[in-house]
Structure 1
Amino acid sequence: MSELSPIVESHIARLFRPKEQSEVAHLLANDCGTTLAGAENASLESLARIQCAALKLSGGSMDKLYDAIALAQTDWRDLLVAADFAQDTQANGDWKC
């Protein structure tokens, strides 16, 4: 299980209802973190970029979050492209939900 960065936790709190937040955090930490191919040794900052991309694409929908995580599990780089985070390593920090 990966730790979540404060920015990821902040986006979870803004996007999801309180009763969903624990599940969202669990999904991101367990299914969209160091378990991703090529991200086994990624920094917390690098993982936050991927996790924020999933949150952005979710728009606060659990179904869309599941889809975004599935995309990350196939190839997390495609997730970054879909969220417009591919070209800028700081885009997840600039993104406001």
Structure 2
Amino acid sequence: MSQFWIQAELVVTQPEKLQQTQTELLKLQELTLQEAGCIQFSVCQVKGDPYRFNLWESWVDENAFALHMQASYTQGYFAQNLTEVATSQRLIPLTVKCTELMESAC
């Protein structure tokens, strides 16, 4: 299997809980970075819009990402309903040849 990349934009659902959202995202980041299959998990707040965050993630493979999504702390973050996913995109680094992505459209 090959490395798996994903980018997601999160929007705060409860503006009055912005500080709590930031704290919980930082906790999620800290725990996620300890996962064996995690290569990168960066949380960035959008400059000029404090109620939007971007996640940049890299995993050893898609299975590692799936395990992350099932982790108790990931599910615990979602259960708080602090954010919703505005966009989510799987990414392909330009270093990967299209022929290596048998089932993906290039």
TM class by smaller structure: 0.3 to 0.5
Structure richer in helix, relative to its length: 1
**Which has the larger Rg?**
2
* Higher relative contact order structure (alpha carbons within 8 Å, sequence separation ≥ 6): 2
Q: Structure 1 length as normaliser, TM-score?
A: 0.32
Structure richer in strand, relative to its length: 2
